[in-house]
Structure 1
Amino acid sequence: MDVRAYDESAKFRAAIGDFYTADPVRHTLAVTVIHRFLDDPAITPVMLTVHDEQGLHGVAFRTAPWPMVVSGLPVDAAGPAADVLAETDPALPGVNGPRENAEAFAGAWAARTGATVREVIGGMLYRLGDLAEPAVAGRARLAGEADVPLLVAWRRDFQVESRGHDRYTERSEELIRRGFALGDGVLIWERDGQPVSWANVGRPVAGMCRVGPVYTPPEHRAHGYGSAATAAASRWALAQGAGHVLLFTDLANPTVNSIYPKIGFRPVGPTAELEFTVTS
């Protein structure tokens, strides 16, 4: 197999064509990250394609400091890709994608670099079927400028709770404002005028929207606010013309994996985010 690395996003886009957008459900993370971050001057992307005798066989990329996205990297391409990345991106922090693909690449990476592999999140990708909105006290509203400080704090709390740290602490406000600028649906669920939950959903890209983050502060949990906010965000996405409304969950959290099916989400397949650590 022929592995090709790219140092210009325009050349990478030209090389992959509609590879990701042809299946925006499987490649939801890749589609949205490319749309939102690939051309960000503050980020240096790592991009590669894998070719065989039939042509384009696989694609992988990452936007630092995030892991490599491998939904488009077949299992049989994991070894050749790891060989190249061990030279071009030796500080690769991890990998994210469908579990089979993520584990295949992690195994190849560990074999070539001696890195240890730790599972950060074992997840599930869900797709909305028929939306069933729960009866929950309160109402949804679109967030605005006055909500930015609250959303920055909630975003940080969500990252720390779900991943143990916030990779983008210094850019939290910028990322919240970027969502507004891109036309995201930023929904806050209020009860008696008090914000109690937040759900974000991107505008449709290739007919697909993904809900997330969804965050409810601990003191407001167990009242259905997260479900209500998620349903409101999903309704907003459908109104924007989304053909697929998706979300990721952490399988270690039994609560979210029970509430999302109740509002109409159905499992697509398991995912994994795996972290690499170099041992001395």
Structure 2
Amino acid sequence: MSWSLCPSLDAFLQRCGSALLANESEHNLTWGAIARARCEHADEVITRFFVLEDPRQNMPYAVVDLERGSLVMDTMSVAQAQSLAEFLHQQGISLRSLKGTPEAGIAFAEAWSKSSGHPYRVQLRQALMKLTDVIMPDPAGGAMIPATEDHRSLLEAFLTGFARDCFPQESFSQEQICAQADRLIGNDQGYLWRNAAGDWVGMAGVVRTTPHTSCLSLVYTAPKHRSRGYAARLVGTLSQAQLQEGKKACSLHTDLANPTSNAVYERVGYERIGTFVALRLTTET
């Protein structure tokens, strides 16, 4: 059992492309990495794709973003995850976070911690949910509005609230919040909900796409407007818009510790298709 670096994005797609296309929602994080890799210059490769060389078993992959220090793990066994940790550590790669299936993700983190001498912690336990048909809630006079530059201050306020609610142990600079707003506005992927009274009550965004699906995130409702069905209306409307534009499915990652939001997504037609864990790999003992 040995891991190797794919020499190019094309080589990775030739090796794993069929599996990625067969289950696009399950591999949405990898499709996001592929999109970033396509924008990289040949002499500045930030996204690296690794595959397992083992003809006796399924051949999982792993994706490392060198700039972010992040790792995305394909579904793999505990032994494969442990061998991946040893391999990446030997390559001198620095990691700060990973996302993978719970058993393999924890196995990797424990092996990485043993090799590096640095502890790890669980950041989030998540469900991956998928929708192919929307159960549309009554908009109750509200409407989804695409976020533009005119909405920047509002969008940044909502992004700050989202980060504070979802990642209380993390700190995000204003520069990071502004950069996220830039991406949402510049890519026409940020959306706001305005209720019948004209109040701006929440946001959601399309954070990545695959050839035939869209992945939603950044679902946030301002505290004083919660428990009124706005999140369901916005997620339902945005999901329907993606399907009408030709996508075959939508997906989103949810926090398993937040049953309220999970119930919202189920109400509009999302179903759970997987479980993931997000881990923080610290650089200090």
Same fold (TM over 0.5): yes
Gap regions ≥5 residues in structure 2: none
Tell me whether 1:257 sits opposite 2:262 in the alignment.
yes
Deviations 1:228-276 (A, max 9, x none): 1111111111111111211111011121022211111111121110112
The CA distance in 1 between the partners of 2:22 and 2:102, in whole Å, is 20
1:108-257 alignment, distance < 5 Å: 108-137=111-140, 138-164=142-168, 165-166=170-171, 169-184=174-189, 186-191=190-195, 192-202=197-207, 204-257=209-262
Give the SS at the match of 2:21. coil
Tell me whether 1:59 sits opposite 2:61 in the alignment.
yes
Moved over 4 A (4+): 6-16, 40-43, 166-169
Deviations 1:120-168 (A, max 9, x none): 1011111115322223532212222211232233223212321233557
TM-score by length of 2: 0.84
Contact 1:49 1:56 in 2 (8 A): no
Counterpart of 1:49 in structure 2: which amino acid?
V
RMSD: 2.8
The CA distance in 1 between the partners of 2:216 and 2:107, in whole Å, is 27
Match of 2:5 in 1: 5
Counterpart of 1:119 in structure 2: which amino acid?
V
Q: CA deviation at 1:214?
A: 0.7
Distance 1:143 1:279, change over 3 A: closer
The CA distance in 2 between the partners of 1:18 and 1:72, in whole Å, is 15
Gap regions ≥5 residues in structure 1: none
Counterpart of 2:267 in structure 1: which amino acid?
K
- Select between 74-83 and 43-52 the one with higher mean Cα deviation: 43-52
Distance 1:33 1:158, change over 3 A: farther
Counterpart of 1:78 in structure 2: which amino acid?
A
Give the SS at the match of 1:100. helix
Distance 1:269 1:72, change over 3 A: closer
